[in-house]
Amino acid sequence: MYDALGAFIQLIVVNCIILGRAEAHAAKNPPTRAAINAVGMGIGFTIGLFALGSVREVLGAGKLFGVSLFGPDFQPWVVMVLPPGGFFVLASWLLLFNWMASRKADVKPSEGQVHA
């Protein structure tokens, strides 16, 4: 069975995770809230996939939407078009967001402190 399905197993698992989460939310909320949540989740997943895919495309091919970004001398990072490239990009995005969150937490003035 594994040989017949191959790469589709991962897609099936991700699909089940997304649908399971949507169904769990929809079962506990009225239809209007469930529909708004579904649209928000769809937009969120689209933005997330676009962010991952665009970085991989730029670094893996040197192009975005077919437009060359770095000129003819660009050496593509082959790892970015392979599956590990997705993990590298995801790790980089998570590192960036965690760094931004820690900077934001450091900038907040402590309670009771008065600034002139």
Q: What is the pLDDT along the chain (116 residues), one digit of tens a residue?
A: 777 777 788 888 888 888 888 889 989 999 999 999 989 988 998 999 899 999 999 998 888 888 888 888 888 888 998 888 889 999 999 999 999 999 988 877 665 566 65
Q: How many CB atoms lie within 10 A of CB 76?
A: 14
User: Three-state SS for 70?
Assistant: coil
Angle at 91 between CA 8 and CA 72, to 5 degrees: 85
* Radius of gyration of the chain, Cα coordinates, nearest whole angstrom: 20
| pLDDT of the residue at 1 | 74
Cβ atoms of 22 and 38 within 8 Å: the answer is yes
